[in-house]
Structure 1
Amino acid sequence: MSPPKRSRKDSPPDDSTDDEQAVSKRPRRSDPTSALPIHPFFTGGSTKPASRGPVQWTEKSTLLIGVVGTQDLSRTSIAGFDFDGTIVTVKGSHVHAKNADDWKFFSTSVPERLLKAHEDGFRVVIFSNQKGILEGRSSAKQAFVGRVENVVKALETHCRKESKSLFPVLVLAGCGNDWFRKPRLGMWDHVEEEHRAVAPLDRSRSFYVGDAAGRPAAWMPGHKKDFADTDLKFAINVGIAFHVPEAYFPHPAPVVLPPVPIVPFPHSTHLENEVHYTPTTLPLIPENRDANHLDLVILTGFPASGKSSFARRFLGEKGYAIVNQDTLKTRPKCIAATKNFLLEGKNVVVDNTNPTRDVRQLYIEAAPDRLTVTVRSFMFTAPQELCVHNMLFRSFGQPRPRKHIPSVAFATFAKNLEVPTTAEGFHEVKSIRFVAEFRSDEEKRMWSLHYS
């Protein structure tokens, strides 16, 4: 019997405080933004160095690179630093620097400590998120470049007072929402690539200092909560020690700092090898049916919740026709394809997000009355945070990046979601759990990174 049918209804700041599938070897991402729009400032690939005082500036895709002095690639230990909120702060209570002169050292000890890191054998590297440059924020590029150059001049003055030469510094600014943006590893990969022909980097001795550590409000009296935890996650992703600037650049009066919060990987439970679906009392694929009894499976779930992989592996390989709007482009075409496949005597799985009862009803009604069709719902239970992580991994963590899904798509699905029930006409509703499975250890490692 066909299922009962019902009537269809009418139908915080960027680094202006530094915010925020198979792989056989570590993927190289020389152009991690090839599928993303590029700001005119970055068109044409890498450019010839432009001298502004002691800093030589170049661009590589959406990565802005500043080089101070001759870089010694034999120094395999990296002393890494955030810029805004770590090396410098603004002159006032505002967030974004207004111009090249709107800065002061985070602490009077900054020049001394940077010089000491160099003298201790470290290569000094600044890693900064500067998305405001590509977002067209007024004078963002000029303010950042100008402040960096003014900081370098101040460091040079300090060194001269110590009768020493200015030490080399590498400045990296990720200006897009891509692989170069912390906590993603694009900027670290750039440094690693520079050292590849000389000597591998020593992560055991390297460290990173940043203010985005996820500390709660009042972590010290009078302090607001950190705007993000991206600096801490960046250090975790790289696998190096992490320090907050209050600890690395001590103020004149010593303070006792609370411990930095632990940021575990939030999706580790999905690495467990558990059953993919419940209830298990009924098989995933109906058994002992004659050829005239067809199965129509309608999927529901967030983007990047594992629907397509599940459909291909568990249904497509069993002969089910897969209907997907990414391929067919429009819902009417999907509905027509569903009906046509059923008329051809094929079992069908509708692999779309299908958030509402009304949308799902369109596919239920596509089953021709003269056919015997069992209609089932598979509800993918992966939470929004996990699905956003999966999307970022697919966009930035694989050698062949997939289309980046805007955050509004996840918010819209969550707002519109009506959880499927048998009252809609389904013979069965199964819950499908996301279980992370990988084709290589490298793919698992990349999925297990923090991406935001």
Structure 2
Amino acid sequence: MIMLHCFLHCTNGLHDPIPLPHQQPVVIGRSPITRIPDKNLSRKQVELTADCHKKEVHVRQLGCNPCKVGNRLLARGDTATATESVTLCVLADKYEHYFKFKTRQSCNISSSNETTPKRKAGHDGSGEKVKRRRVDDVNKKEDSDGSDSEHMEAVKKQLKLLKENMKKAPVGGDMKSAPGTRREHVDKTGEAVDDDDTQGAARKGVVEGRPTKEATWKQHDSLMLYTSSGVVGRSKHNHLSLSPGKVFPTHAGDWRILYPEVPGKLKKLFSDGYKIVFLTNQRGIRGGKVKVDEYKEKVSRIVSKLGVPVQVFVSLRSGPYRKPAVGSWTHLRDQANDGIEIDMKKSFYVGDAAGRPKDWAPGKKKDFSCSDRLFALNLNLPFYTPEEYFLGKKPAEYNMPEFDPRKLDASAAPCDPADTRLTPLAQPEVIVFVGFPASGKSYFYREHLQKGGLAGVVAEVCQSMYLDVASKFGVTCRCFVFTTSHQHARHNERFREMTDSTHQAINEMMLHSYRSKFTEPQLSEGFTEIVKINFVPRFRDKKLQSLYTMFLLDK
């Protein structure tokens, strides 16, 4: 009788076709049979079960690193069905294979005493001529008359090798109870152990959750979150920046990986137990300069090209999620890592917004900002530029922002001179406040003057009219000059934006306008005293204090 047999063929001809008997699970991976030495590939990578009647193969992912069926990445425990028209990449986009169902005359390969009726060579039992097929275009071998018994002997030999190779492999049954799955990966100390000896050594001490089955996009306030299939919560993280100037140029198909070394390095990190996380500022999406659907397509294409499960956090506007602020990372920690605590000592950050000046390397432009380096500083994460991490280059020089919130002195005197009178006189007086918007004028008035009994203080940058009024009524006029710098005022404004939902944002143009028009007040103008006011941060809320002392400005 005529029967179908299924074989797994390597597109590049690395190995001979591997037989997949009808409804018998076969596990393949890194082995002498596949001739794949890649240590990123588990010895028990995928389980293949052929249904020769339906001409399809059931694929189940077993290894740590994903395989790819057609255009779909499979994480551990995921399944898919393949036909002859669907390719199988045993490791993401590598080691492509395809399935071939071939017609063969049945042979008795059991120990049964039954005999097979004699037939004329080249005919089946009905006398109808059987058409021979080419076995494999890659191996350039053809069937010949009378070769079926020899072929089946070869099949039995390969099956024997496969069975020896997969003695300890899970073959069917519920993945929850199979060796090498999540339940049996965690030892008594809570540490995860891989089923593959070589990968287990690298992954020792890694705690992880369950891999995602499908790619998803979600939105939380002004934060978009993409999670590809196969993403799993882990304790070790590799955080990276997606640079809009280098990774996402103009349209969905116009992008490139920064360096050829990137995909291999990321796959190695994933194999070593790291979760790969990209964080990016994309204010252009919110402003309409970038189409949302087009941007999403770019992200999915890049993740597919990298061949490794990735989570991407996209900040759409200024606020707590925009780097160097750490709101996106906080969301990752609290809601997007399967409840697993992130080990900050074993995690790190790679980004190209590192504050490097022009010609930090021959012909290189200066970095567009320092947000990636500052983001890592805010989290106390080790930081590397792409050149340092992926190419092994020495660290280049860089410039830090002129304003460093960590250096503010909470014990400093609020005034200079320190003995400045902040209580009211017996007679009225005029006090003129001079300083940037968001320099702390209102706060200083409430905390120091109002509590001291002064009322009706005017906070303004224009001085002359108040000097005229003071002179006309014969009262003294003091000038309080707030020493808060331009960048410090921008920091204060960003902080208020993040913490006060009722705050009316100050336009950047107002800050620039003040800086361009400011002239230092002089006693000769008619002031009786000029007092310098220092910004002294004092917080009752520890969380607010922690946020304020972080870098909040990307430029």
Q: Could you say whether these structures have the same fold, taking a TM-score greater than 0.5 normalized by the shorter chain as the test?
A: yes
User: Residue 121 of structure 1 aligns to which amino acid in structure 2?
Assistant: G
C-alpha distance in structure 2 between counterparts of 1:62 and 1:260, whole Å: 34
Is 2:403 the counterpart of 1:403?
no
Verify the 8 A CA contact 2:356 2:397 in the aligned structure 1.
Answer: yes
C-alpha distance in structure 2 between counterparts of 1:57 and 1:199, whole Å: 21
Verify the 8 A CA contact 2:360 2:397 in the aligned structure 1.
Answer: no
Is 2:277 the counterpart of 1:125?
yes
Q: 2:217 aligns with which of 27, 34, 57?
A: 57
C-alpha distance in structure 1 between counterparts of 2:393 and 2:529, whole Å: 59
C-alpha distance in structure 1 between counterparts of 2:451 and 2:540, whole Å: 18
Greater helix content: 1
Q: 2:489 aligns with which of 378, 387, 397?
A: 387
Pairwise CA distance, 1:392: 1.2
Alpha-carbon displacement from aligned partner over 1:9-63 (angstroms, at most 9, x marks no partner): xxxxxxxxxxxxxxxxxxxxxxxxxxxxxxxxxxxxxxxxxxxx96322222221
Q: How does 1:36-435 map to 2 (within 5 A)?
A: 55-73=215-233, 75-84=234-243, 89=246, 97-137=249-289, 139-156=290-307, 167-194=308-335, 198-250=339-391, 256-259=393-396, 261=398, 263=400, 266-280=404-418, 283-285=421-423, 290=426, 293-321=427-455, 348-351=456-459, 354-356=460-462, 360-366=463-469, 373-396=475-498, 398=499, 402-435=503-536
Verify the 8 A CA contact 1:276 1:433 in the aligned structure 2.
Answer: yes
Match of 2:130 in 1: none
Match of 2:3 in 1: none
RMSD (CA atoms):
2.7
Query: Could you say what secondary structure the match of 1:271 adopts?
Result: coil
C-alpha distance in structure 1 between counterparts of 2:367 and 2:535, whole Å: 31
Pairwise CA distance, 1:312: 1.2
CA distance 1:130–1:269, shift in 2 (3 Å): closer
User: Residue 111 of structure 1 aligns to which amino acid in structure 2?
Assistant: P
Pairwise CA distance, 1:372: 5.6
Pairwise CA distance, 1:413: 1.2
Alpha-carbon displacement from aligned partner over 1:85-135 (angstroms, at most 9, x marks no partner): 7xx935xxxxx6121110121122222111111111111111111111111
| TM-score normalised per structure 2 | 0.57
Greater strand content: 2
CA distance 1:279–1:445, shift in 2 (3 Å): same
Alpha-carbon displacement from aligned partner over 1:120-167 (angstroms, at most 9, x marks no partner): 111111111111111111x443442222111222234xxxxxxxxxx4
Structure 2's unaligned 5+ residue stretches are 1-212
Higher RCO structure, 1 or 2 (CA under 8 Å, sep 6+): 1
Question: Which one has a bigger Cα radius of gyration?
Answer: 2
CA distance 1:248–1:258, shift in 2 (3 Å): closer
CA distance 1:316–1:151, shift in 2 (3 Å): same
Verify the 8 A CA contact 2:357 2:397 in the aligned structure 1.
Answer: no
Alpha-carbon displacement from aligned partner over 1:152-209 (angstroms, at most 9, x marks no partner): 22234xxxxxxxxxx4321111111221111111210110112587232211111111
Verify the 8 A CA contact 2:333 2:339 in the aligned structure 1.
Answer: no
Structure 1's unaligned 5+ residue stretches are 1-52, 91-95, 157-166, 322-347
Match of 2:548 in 1: 447
| TM-score normalised per structure 1 | 0.69
C-alpha distance in structure 2 between counterparts of 1:450 and 1:64, whole Å: 22
